Chain A
Amino acid sequence: MNGENLNHDKWNQSPEFTAYALNELDESRAQEFLKELRDKGISEEEIRDEVASLQLLKATLQAEFSKDHLLRVSPEMREKILSPKSTKGEQWKKWLLGFSVSTSVAVIALVVFVNDNIIDNSPSISSINDVHRGEKNILLEKKKIIRPERKQELVENSAQLSGQVMNTTESVVATRMAKMKSAQISDFAPAAGAIKGKMIPSPQVTSRIQEEEFNREGYDKIDSNPYTLVSNEPLSTFSVDVDTASYANMRRFLLKGQKPPKNALRIEEMINYFPYSYEGDFSKHPVAIQVDQVQSIWNQDRKIVRVAMKSETSSELAQASKNLVFLMDVSGSMHSPKKLPLLKESMQLLLRKLKKTDTISLVVYAGAAGVILEPTEVREKVKILKALDQLRAGGSTNGGAGIIAAYKMAKMGFIKNGVNRVILATDGDFNVGTSSRGALLDLIEEKAKDDIFLTVVGLGMGNYQDAMLEEISNRGNGNYAYIDSLREANKLFNIDLEKNLTTVAKDVKVQVEFNPNLVKAYRLIGYENRMLAAKDFNDDKKDAGEMGSGHTVTALYEIVPVGGKIEDIAPVIDDLKYSKQTKGKGSRHDFDDELLTVKVRYKSPTGSKSTKFEVPLKNKTQKIEKADRNFKLATAAASLGLKLRDDELTKNYSYDEILKLAKEAKGSDPYEFEAELIEMIELAKTIDRND
């Protein structure tokens, strides 16, 4: 272990050098050691190369080991662990509920620790020599204040910085070197954050860390749709949305024991996360619709109207050949086990589900984009798996170049009448390359015109860019899901594979016309960023959402019937003096028993002209108890989201009531989605102090 004894040939073959390269030396010893090497006439470059090569070795071994790091703790076992014999209190039981929830926890455990050693790039943290010098506590002290999430953040910051410092070097080796370098420059990773101009808390301020962590994730503000007076605007128009990301993201927060940020909760995605057993007649249209109503559970004297849509289950499409291009973010920020490794596992799930003749391509993007695998048939599974195994995270993100390469592959393997899809998997931090968000989105929109659809898979946490990903999927004829666990990957790539990879109807728009004689005001729950102008409904150039095979989409309105009170809603404009405020055919008396009419427009997957059909809803009243299971489930999911958003609607509706509703809604639930919702509600109840 003594540097002085080394001759020049063997300078890199001492245990201490290994420790140095693995960042196991404390800062002062590391500097000393470096100096010793230099004094021996070894250039900085030589040292850096050697360190990088050991770092690469380390990353390879980690990847190798991570392959069989797959045992999961069963819910029963967790239950046992969490109820040590000495505690039997009720409060404790409540805690438990949150943790019996899903296998995702298994993956969480991986996240926490695999990052330690990257963080240790900051040479200040761990050490061999500390021990000898009786400074044992330094390690513990540091660990104490740097929590796992924080580490994650540090890792990502230093990774990002390295990208800038090194001016986007491409290779894994170079990136690893860059990481080292940035650690040395900044001495301590938070400084790296500061250079980047982001709000990074000093590690001492532990209480603020969770809050800051939110700040690092990008969410667009969601302003709930306001109540609208029918006399002002009798038409409500929106695009369908089959995304589910928001629910999975909410689950991640609740499992951490945190209330999700309001802007992370898109109510429509929470509703549409669940599979509903709607029935429909698909003889005329590939989309069926059902409209019904119950008395509002949230407010007296109001109603909830449900617009339930289902697309045709197309066995033809399910059989169709698939040409899938995976565009995978392998930038430094994807290093965490919950990102790239989880993605790899997810893809193994997917491979099992595909036909032998389907093709897979892999494109990665980090500092520069690269095609790892050109379209390859699934029968060559070993080749695909091998290519997957070789992926390593490192470098900063150049989303734009990757997108171009991916669409190029999709075109190369294009299957006529088949499924052609780019699957973009990322944590969404496009920070290098195609510069602005706008330019990137334009690029995707342009590429989406070739009948190549897009699925966006969000991963990870800490610097998760939700808003960005959602927008990309909207613009690229896509859907958007969030994977936080293998279980969720299983839903996306196994249970719901056909739904997610196929498209049976394109640009599906919904317009609801309310009858002003019966409805005073309405509010659409969710769909805030899916709203369209009334005139967009008939405009075939206006893009809207896609529905895959057997997808269900549910929209809920709360409406105030004529004569109902709405003083708690946004200020009403004065009555018009000269105009009759009723307009359109709604005022005609032949339709007086109709509450509203729902109009749907869709295009065939490759069509450019839309088809329209409509369904009216007769006015009658029933209680939610009488409604079908699906209605209750949708309402319960929406209620949970609204409640967590502290929405006005659910001000007087308690978690207990939501829970009761969800329990009534529970059916055979083969995949335990509904059971999970119940647990989520119970968890939210313990976390949300506003109830």
Chain B
Amino acid sequence: MSDQMEKQSWFHTTVVDNESSLLNYTFKILSQMATSEEVVQESFLKLWKQEFPGHFEHYPKAWLYRVCRNLAIDILRKDKRIRFEDNLEEVLSCPCVSESLLQASQIMAEINKLSKAEKEVLVLKFNDDLSYKEIAEVTGLSVSLVGVRIHKGLEKIRKIVEDELNNLELNPKKKETNV
């Protein structure tokens, strides 16, 4: 394979692997579908313009998240008039999202009570499955600060989650074994 071919194949794998996580991530920041799509597109365009083979072709994920995050924050800074009403319909038009909104759980409610800083690292950790180090890369925090925030965030929601879990029928003590 020529370098060009290799780049194309690498690029396209990267797109397929990351596009929808990035879109979901960006949407969480912007709550606007069209703008989020633009941001994701832009981030991939930036990726494409990078030199290849470069130092991050094996691991572009954190890089992409960071670019999306920065772009999204830029947009938020420029436009403070983003209204939720505009997006509500959009959000509700996606059946599954509406489904989950309608039955928003205790746990989610608790997460929403956390500080923005804690919420962000928890989302990156548990929603986007980034490692501490990757989160550090994305947010510009130090790895140890990421660790502290995740720890604190977890401490705060732990009780409510465990209460929920105790109600579970999947709880081994309650579980029937019909065999």
CA–CA, A113 to B24, complex, Å? 13
Say yes or no: A16 contacts B20, CB within 8 Å: no
- The A interface is mostly helix, strand or loop, or mixed, namely helix
Interface assignment of B88: CB less than 8 Å from any CB of chain A: no
- Known A-B contacts A64-B107, A77-B41, A81-B44; A401 and B147 likewise in contact (beta carbons under 8 Å): no
Partner of A71, one of B20, B125, B152, B177: B20
| Residues in A whose Cβ lies below 8 Å from that of B139 | none
Q: Is B89 an interface residue (CB 8 A)?
A: no
Q: How far, in whole Å, are A542 and B143 apart by their CA atoms in the complex?
A: 65
State how many residues of chain A have any CB contact under 8 Å with chain B. 94
Is B20 within 8 A of A385, CB to CB?
Answer: no
Contact residues in A for B45 (Cβ distance below 8 Å) = 81, 84-85
The interface size bin for chain B is: 35 or more
With A65-B123, A404-B178 as known contacts, state yes or no: A105 contacts B161, CB within 8 Å.
no
- Indicate if A58 sits at the interface (CB-CB under 8 A): yes
Contacting residues of chain B (7-37) with chain A, CB-CB under 8 angstroms:
8-9, 11-13, 15-21, 23-24, 27, 33, 36-37
Docked Cα-Cα span, A19 to B27, in Å, equals: 28
A residues less than 8 Å from B17 (CB atoms): 108-109, 112-113, 148
Query: With an 8 A cutoff between CB atoms, is A110 at the interface?
Result: yes
A172 / chain B contacts, CB cutoff of 8 Å: 170, 172
Residue of B nearest to A352 (CB): B95
Does residue B82 face the partner (Cβ distance < 8 Å to A)?
no
Task: Judge if A131 is at the interface, Cβ distance under 8 Å.
Answer: yes
Q: Is A139 an interface residue (CB 8 A)?
A: yes
Which residues in A have their C-beta under 8 angstroms from that of B16?
99, 105, 108-109, 255
Contact call B169/A405, Cβ cutoff below 8 A: no
Q: Measured between alpha carbons, how far is A127 from B147 in the docked complex, in Å?
A: 11
Inter-chain contact A81/B129, CB cutoff 8 Å: no
Q: How far is the CA of A246 from the CA of B12 in the complex (A)?
A: 25
Q: Does A536 contact B (CB under 8 A)?
A: no
- Alpha-carbon separation in the docked complex, A389 to B172 (Å): 16
A148 to B44, CA, bound (A): 20
Chain B minimum-CB-distance residue to A365: B179
B-contact 0/1 string along A94-111, CB 8 Å cutoff: 010001000001111110
Per-residue contact bits, chain B 118-157, to A (CB 8 Å; 1 contact, 0 not): 0000110111111111001000000110011011101101
Asked whether, in the complex, the Cβ of B48 is within 8 Å of the Cβ of A109, the reply is no
User: Is A67 an interface position by the 8 A CB rule?
Assistant: yes
CB contacts (< 8 Å) of A68 on chain B: these are: 24, 96-97, 100-101
CA distance A237 to B99 in the complex (A): 48
Q: Report the nearest B residue to A255, measured CB to CB.
A: B16
Contacts known (A84-B44, A116-B129, A131-B143); A109 close to B18, Cβ less than 8 A: yes
**Residues of B contacting A61 in the complex (Cβ-Cβ under 8 angstroms):** 107, 111, 122, 126, 157, 161
Q: A61-B107, A116-B131, A117-B131 are in contact. Are A390 and B170 (CB under 8 A)?
A: yes
Bound Cα distance from A64 to B44, whole angstroms = 28
Residue with the highest number of chain A CB atoms closer than 10 Å, among B123, B144, B157: B144
How distant is the Cα of A54 from the Cα of B150 in the complex, in angstroms?
Answer: 12
> Which of A18, A85, A389 has the most CB atoms of chain B within a 10 A radius of its CB?
A18
A74 to B18, CA, bound (A): 14
- Residue B40 at the chain A interface, CB threshold 8 Å: yes
Interface positions, chain A 354-410, Cβ under 8 Å from B, are 363-364, 368-373, 382, 385, 387, 389-392, 401, 404-405, 408
* Contacting pair A82 B15 (CB below 8 A): yes
Q: Which of A1-41 contact B (CB under 8 A)?
A: 1, 13-16, 18-19, 22, 24
- Whether B58 and A82, one on each chain, are in contact in the complex, defined by CB atoms closer than 8 angstroms, is no
Whether the Cβ atoms of A95 and B12 lie closer than 8 Å is yes
Q: Chain A residue with minimal CB distance to B43?
A: A81
A460 to B91, CA, bound (A): 28
CB distance from B103 to the nearest CB of A (A): 6
Question: Given known contacts A14-B151, A54-B154, A390-B170, is B131 in contact with A139 (CB within 8 Å)?
Answer: yes
Is the Cβ of A128 less than 8 Å from the Cβ of B108? no
Residue of A nearest to B94 (CB): A70
Contacts of B77 in A (CB 8 A): none
Closest-by-CB residue of A relative to B123 is: A65
Report the Cα distance A62→B97, complex, angstroms.
Answer: 16
Residues of chain B lying within 8 A (CB to CB) of residue A404: 178-179
B136 shortest CB reach to chain A, Å: 8
Contact A60 B131 (CB under 8 A): no
Contacts of A345 in B (CB 8 A): 96
CB of A392 within 8 A of CB of B94, answer: no
Q: How far is the CA of A57 from the CA of B151 in the complex (A)?
A: 12
For A13, the closest partner residue in chain B by CB is: B155
- Asked if B170 contacts A391 (CB within 8 A), the reply is yes
9 A-B pairs with C-beta separation under 8 A: A71-B24, A71-B94, A81-B45, A85-B45, A92-B8, A95-B9, A113-B129, A115-B129, A345-B96
New A-B contacts (19) at CB < 8 Å, excluding given A24-B131, A404-B178 = A15-B148, A22-B150, A24-B147, A62-B126, A62-B129, A65-B127, A70-B24, A71-B20, A77-B37, A108-B16, A113-B129, A128-B143, A148-B17, A172-B172, A368-B175, A370-B175, A370-B176, A373-B169, A387-B169
The 7 closest A-B pairs by CB, nearest first: A171-B172, A65-B127, A15-B151, A106-B20, A84-B48, A18-B151, A67-B100
